[in-house]
Amino acid sequence: MPSVTLYSIPNCDTMKKARAWLAEHPLDVVFHDYKKQGVSPELIQGWLALGATLDTLLNRKGTTWRKLDDASRAQAEQPDGAVALMVAQPSLIKRPVLVCDGQVLVGFSDASYQAFFAGRL
């Protein structure tokens, strides 16, 4: 049975869908609430090392992004600046981030989870 770490915030609608999908499968899931437990630059760099991209991780469509000033948005154009913004404001991270067997998946859709876990369940 694969071990899964799911990073998000509990009240996110997409997160709720991901958790429901995971609950239907034989998986050992650890939930990391990054608003309460935080995220570090090292954690985000780890996701990037596993194949996530900054364009995927940084949620430029959400309310938190829209509330940023121009200077903060400009900061996000540089990799170190984008990571620093996500650490300071975890709501800027697209949800959820799933890590399993040295691979990372950002966001949720039924099809993407089925493909990701094919052969693992």
Q: Do residues 34 and 5 lie in contact, with contact meaning Cβ atoms separated by under 8 Å? A: no
Q: Which of 57, 53, 47 is nearest to 100 (CA)?
A: 47
3-class DSSP assignment, residue 33: strand
Select which of 3, 5, 7, 12 is catalytic.
Answer: 12
CA distance 45 to 61: 22
Known active-site residue 12: yes
Active site residue ranges: 12
